[in-house]
Amino acid sequence: MLDVECSMFLRILIAAASLIFCLTSSFAQGGFRWDGKINGQPVHLLLDTGSGVPILVTQPAAKRLGLKTKPIKDQEIVSAENIVELGATKAVLELPGRDGRKGYSGKAFVDIVEKSAALTVIGVDGVAGWPLIRRRITQFDAVKGEFHFLDEVPAEAKGWAKFTIRDVDWGTLELVSTKRDGRARIFVDTGDLVFGEDAIGVPQPLWQGLKRTYPNAPAWLTGNWSSDGALNATEYRWLSHFSIGPLQLTNVVVGTINPRFATNDILIGFDTLKGFGLIVDGRRHVAYLRPTAASEAGPRSERVVLFQPSNLRSKNLIANVVDGSSAYLAGIRNGDLLLGVDRQDLAQWLANPGANWAETNHSTPMGFLRLLKASSDIPPTAQTDLKLRRGTQTILATILQKSLTIAVTAGRTNTPASR
């Protein structure tokens, strides 16, 4: 019978963790890998502190591991990927630690879901969640992709920024700090591969406040896809200073958290952790965090407008634009439909963009994406003419070519009919 608490928190897993992928990155070797055995059979897991269940594996992996479970009466959809929860069973786990230290050995619930495109891309059988290590002292090194269990917290770490760990039996890793000016919360999600640009993710209310406080902060857009086929545009800003409770940061990139995840926490994903030292003392419910790498000053990109489909099955290219940017001032608005580029119909231009454009292709479980950006050798002042539709209006806009990114579902994007 499926454990009730396990079922409830299973909803937290893949939708809030490992589903978002930047269009310009590769994740096949990313994350904290934890290989071991389940019922004596080899298993490849991802340590995911954003998962509220001890162990989750996909149905193909469960079959290989010889795990059997009775189908649950009411199957549940547990993520944006429309993964169906099939059930749970108890199994014997043998997950070794590093440096000769004890890992995890014993019985635990293993939840089984249908095949996950996200986990397939990552190349694992499933995930080991926060509940499995929440009583350990764990040091995370994202640069090396390693985590280590410690006997005690190193003395030097006690001088780092200190946070309290929310202690919930079937929860995720959340750090809390209370200051005079308010309460700061950090959701540490090592299964997020990747919240792009090595950025710190901020919820919408904080993001809007930062935009008001720093209206001239350099901003840019990056596209990402989720394994349910949705495409999103994430806006990033470079800030000279940013604080999270007692943690004072300089030269930091922040980005918007996808509103579909409905979280009020600040997000630190796996790639963000590459710039931090993190030691979690689950015994005493305390975590220590410090920046370890000096961030690059200034914006990472000049691309402030992105045309892409709303999902991997759509044929229309929709505008996403940074408010107040050069492209915005040129007349482009969110939701505008792209009809043509450089005085050619879109289909004609896509067939032969020309030497001024660089093209890369990205494979996803739902199909291929074709990404077009300005060539690195074009003059910085080179311009591009765009033809757009907004409602019943046709809009013409001229922008800097280096400010534009176009993402196309390969073989599926057609030119909309002009009006």
What integer pLDDT is reported at residue 336 of this predicted model? Answer: 98
| pLDDT tens digits for range 66-96 | 998 766 555 544 444 455 678 889 999 999 9
The mean pLDDT of 315-338, rounded to a whole number, is 95
Where would I find the H helices in 241-345? Answer: 326-329
Confidence band (pLDDT; 50, 70, 90) for 226?
low
What integer pLDDT is reported at residue 228 of this predicted model? Answer: 60
What integer pLDDT is reported at residue 381 of this predicted model? Answer: 95
Alpha-carbon dihedral of residues 128, 233, 145, 123, nearest 10 degrees?
60
User: Which residues 6+ apart lie within 8 Å of 319 measured at CB?
Assistant: 305, 306, 307, 332, 333, 334, 335, 336, 337, 338, 388
Confidence band (pLDDT; 50, 70, 90) for 2?
very low
341: closest CA among 405, 283, 393? 405
Q: Is the pLDDT of residue 389 over 90?
A: yes
201: closest CA among 228, 215, 182, 222? 222
The mean pLDDT of 367-375, rounded to a whole number, is 85
| pLDDT tens digits for range 96-129 | 987 777 899 999 989 998 877 678 777 899 999 9
Q: Please state, rounded to an integer, the average pLDDT across all residues of the chain.
A: 82
What integer pLDDT is reported at residue 23 of this predicted model? Answer: 47
What integer pLDDT is reported at residue 19 of this predicted model? Answer: 40
Q: Is the pLDDT of residue 354 over 70?
A: yes
Domains (ranges, CATH) in the chain?
A: 4-133 (2.40.70), 146-291 (2.40.70.10), 305-409 (2.30.42)
DSSP state of 73: S
| pLDDT tens digits for range 13-71 | 433 333 444 444 444 457 999 999 999 999 999 999 999 889 999 999 999 999 987 66
Contact 162, 239 (CB under 8 A): no
Q: Is the pLDDT of residue 182 over 80?
A: no
Q: Is the pLDDT of residue 414 over 50?
A: no
Confidence band (pLDDT; 50, 70, 90) for 314?
confident
Alpha-carbon dihedral of residues 212, 246, 167, 104, nearest 10 degrees?
110
Strands 266-269 and 182-189: parallel
307: closest CA among 404, 218, 419, 195? 404
The mean pLDDT of 234-242, rounded to a whole number, is 91
Contact 47, 31 (CB under 8 A): yes
The mean pLDDT of 208-234, rounded to a whole number, is 83
Query: Phi and psi (nearest 5°) for 108?
Result: -155, 160
Q: Which of 3-17, 117-131, 358-372 has the lowest mean pLDDT?
A: 3-17
Confidence band (pLDDT; 50, 70, 90) for 194?
low
Confidence band (pLDDT; 50, 70, 90) for 219?
very high
- Indicate the SS3 state at residue 48: strand
Q: Give this prediction's pTM.
A: 0.83
What integer pLDDT is reported at residue 308 of this predicted model? Answer: 93
Question: Taking CA 287 as the corner, what is the angle to CA 286 and CA 293, rounded to the nearest 5 degrees?
Answer: 165
Contact 357, 351 (CB under 8 A): no
The mean pLDDT of 342-350, rounded to a whole number, is 95
What integer pLDDT is reported at residue 412 of this predicted model? Answer: 44
Taking the C-alpha atoms of residue 334 and residue 336, their distance in angstroms, rounded to an integer, is 6
The residue written with tokens 């975590």 in the block is 287
Confidence band (pLDDT; 50, 70, 90) for 150?
very high
Query: Phi and psi (nearest 5°) for 268?
Result: -120, 110
